[in-house]
Copies of this chain bind each other. A is one copy, B any other.
Amino acid sequence: MNVVSAQMAENIAGGSMIRRMFEAGNELKKKFGEEAVCDFSLGNPDLAPPPEVSGEFRLLESRSREPGSLGYMSNGGFSWALDKLAAWLGRQQKTELTRQEVMLSCGAAGALNSFFHTVLEPGDEVLAIAPYFVEYGFYAANHGGILKTVPCRKNDFGPDIEAVASAISPRTRALIVNSPNNPSGAVYSAEDLRRLAEVLDAGSRRHGRPIYLVADEPYRFLAYDGCEVPPVLPLSPHAVVVSSFSKNYGLAGERVGYIAISPLLEGRETLMAGLVLSNRTLGYVNPPVVGQYLMAAALGTSTDDALAIYARRRDMLAEILDEAGYEFMLPKGTFYFFPKAPGGDDLAFVERLKEHLILAVPGSGFGGPGYFRLSFAVPDAVIARSREGFARAIRG
């Protein structure tokens, strides 16, 4: 008898490739020892949260003795947390924000799901620029939407504005951009973002309803060599920013993220009411209470040390890949390289890397076949000992 739905059975089967890879990696570690394997497959930051977070736990020890201290609050989060977030985010986005324009959710993933649940009609299309974070496909499909990918610009993984323009249809409801980009490491320029917003706003006018520009920005703090990640909210009343504190403050497991909408959007009260209702009915109910305290403690603390550490690792790995003869773009942001797979078959090349005890993710997993992703959210020592493996793998 069918214990799951037909669609779910298909999804489970589809997910099994990545799971098998993950399991194969674990077997490698068992066989040769953790220390022998170079695992570049995970996008999980390996730095500790800022010390302010630890300090906050001390305050929570006494706070949690109060009745109701860890109970429900408003579905969009505590007012004081929203006020603090709005002030911080307003400076970052060069837009005056109040708590009326921000909502806290269960990570950026919860914020994106709440957003799509709020705005998508059945069959609506969400555009994404490939290569892209594949979870977007689920987030759109969960709410009756269809993810439609648009190829990136060939030379630098930037957005191909013409391709986006010609992908817009009467069913287009949003374009999701992820800059700094997972997996490519690209950072979109202010000019590219401005032109994207223009193209979407023209589409909005043509088709009579907003086409949202959704910026998913968990890697905003990770831009190297002084590269600026331009703010998106000032570009259009239909711009929306989604992010989390998973990468910058190491709080991924605590599930705190947010969505901010433009104060210039006509009907923004309705959009926010829908977001808050979705936050409730999708089962997030409210952002985790402890996470909100931790976020407030961490907010505004410097991420310069983390940036310096990742920059150093980026340079180490770049030197190794370069020496071995890989073709790649030096990432402008994030902790990922996205090199070309020698020979062109990313699945086969990732298998070959594994023979040399290096774990990577095939680009096919990001809608980017022919490439593979390496995460340098790993200790320097892992990078250092990967030199031989990378060199041998490319020699075949």
Residues of A near any B CB (own CB < 8 A):
1-9, 11-12, 15, 44-49, 51, 53-55, 57-58, 60-62, 64-73, 105-107, 109-113, 117-121, 124, 135, 138-139, 142, 204, 208-210, 246, 250-255, 265-268, 270-271, 273-274, 277-278, 280-286, 288-291, 294
Contact = CB atoms under 8 A, between A and B. Distances in A.
11 contacts: A5-B119, A11-B281, A54-B65, A61-B61, A68-B250, A70-B250, A71-B250, A106-B284, A107-B283, A135-B281, A254-B290
A209 B8 contact: no
A3 B49 contact: no
A44 B72 contact: yes
Contacts of A294: 70, 290
Q: Counting chain B CB atoms within 10 Å of each CB, which of A9, A209, A284 scores highest?
A: A284
Nearest to A261: B3
Contacts of A117: 8, 142
Contacts of A290: 254, 288, 290-291, 294
B73 A253 contact: yes
A113 B282 contact: yes
B64 A57 contact: yes
A283 B106 contact: yes
Given A117-B8, A281-B135, A283-B139, A251 B44 contact: no
Given A282-B283, A284-B255, A54 B47 contact: no
Nearest to A43: B72
Contact of A62 (B54, B60, B72, B105): B54
A53 B70 contact: yes
A39 to B, nearest CB: 13
Nearest to A134: B281
Contacts of A208: 1
A45 B68 contact: yes
Contacts of A12: 270, 273-274, 277
Contacts of A2: 209-210
A12 B15 CA distance: 35
B268 A3 contact: yes
A286 B57 contact: no
Contact of A255 (B5, B60, B68, B286): B286
Nearest to A275: B4
A1 B119 contact: no
Contact of A68 (B44, B106, B113): B44
Contacts of A252: 70-72
Contacts of A1: 204, 208-210, 266-267
Contacts of A68: 44-48, 250
A288 B295 CA distance: 14
Given A3-B210, A57-B57, 13 more contacts: A1-B267, A2-B210, A8-B117, A8-B118, A8-B119, A53-B70, A70-B254, A72-B246, A109-B285, A135-B280, A142-B282, A255-B288, A290-B291
A213 to B, nearest CB: 14
A41 to B, nearest CB: 13
A338 B46 CA distance: 52
A254 B288 contact: yes
A366 to B, nearest CB: 16
A276 to B, nearest CB: 9
Nearest to A273: B12
A320 to B, nearest CB: 23
Nearest to A278: B8
Contacts of A209: 1-2
A176 B255 CA distance: 28
A337 B143 CA distance: 36
Given A283-B107, A290-B291, A48 B61 contact: no
